[in-house]
Chain A
Amino acid sequence: MTFLPKPKLHHPDLQKNALGYTRRDYEGPVSTLCAGCGHDSISAAIVRACFELDIAPHRVAKLSGIGCSSKTPTYFLGASHGFNSVHGRMPSVATGANIANRELIYLGVSGDGDSASIGLGQFAHAMRRGVNMVYIVENNGVYGLTKGQFSATADKGAKSKRGVVNTDEPIDLVGLALQLGATFVARSFSGDKAQLVPLIEAALKHQGAAFIDCISPCVAFNNHEGSTKSFDFVREHNEAVNALDLMLPREEITADYAPGTVELVTQHDGSVLRLRKLHTDYDVHDRVAALTYMQERHAAGEIVTGLLYVDPEPRDLHAALKTCATPLNALDDAALIPGSAALDKLNASLR
């Protein structure tokens, strides 16, 4: 792994978005991950989603735990503040950050070890609190950074590179997110940009806890025969329930598909999710059915992907806390300090 200074050469006719930023403005320093690592594709998808949504890079706060996956926020959105915290605890840091300033976009990146092993509790509680954030788990079934030990999402019967067979049941973060009240739940694959980018976009537009479990093969330690998180295995077993396009309010909404095969879901901010149904009877609004479906298909050996559940009118943590419209970190002394007169009155009541 080397550190290369990255040339910031802006091609004169590089396409600009509505804010005048080019794709480059959403990138970061060159990644130090292994060549071919699934995580780098997810970083690229994040860059593209933010560019296409015209998000000002500095209005995003990116947070992560520890792991190869958690290192990636260094490699995208170089003009955003980032916080690489401690192993498994990104959710609490993101929760605190979100509470402090409700106006920024919070993007949490984590790994399967980070979120399903050491940080399972924090993951669960962030979901149930409805923290308004995008929470992406870059799921490779192993601890990449510590060299290939099984993580808690490794499938039972999956074989490690050294030939060890995993005997423990896997933790399905999608199932947990559904059960714990996440209001946007999706699964995708780092090798399927066409599916992943719109999902990240829709999640960024979602005003509640948005969770994306993204299978992201580790080429160094978990891409072999016998792994259920390898590129080949995922490609073979991927069953998408729908295909998503995100349409912003400014775009003309078109739906030139056969009736019953397309559903339009309008989110709170006006963005529209255009869902092409690949499994006609799959209902993205039915949390309970989604849970059953996930378990059935997992038992049948499929990896179900797509937008799995969405509540377009979520209530987030700020609604529960009834926090004021002004971000808490912007309240001035006058708003915060009751002053000496109030204190004198209080003193009098304590005698």
Chain B
Amino acid sequence: MFRKRRDADRQRVRIVFDGRTIEAEAGATVAAALLCNGVVAFRDPVVSGTSRGPHCMIGACFECLVEIDGTPGQQACLVPVREGMSIGRQAPLPAVAP
């Protein structure tokens, strides 16, 4: 959906989304990293309808919720990527185990 204008000299990290390993620039948010890797739909909504993806990118809309390292409900547009981070699509009813 988005692409880097050019490959910056910034450091790169590897993260996993739904089992697939992707590369991201250190310092990018999870949402930016996913969008730059062709991921548009981040989660299945609670209410009926189609999947949802990032909309506002500033933490207001809560549409970009994903599961990060087992914790659901994280705002992908606010959380920076970390090496080895494991990200999952969020189910309509996120599991609540700690």
A binds B: no
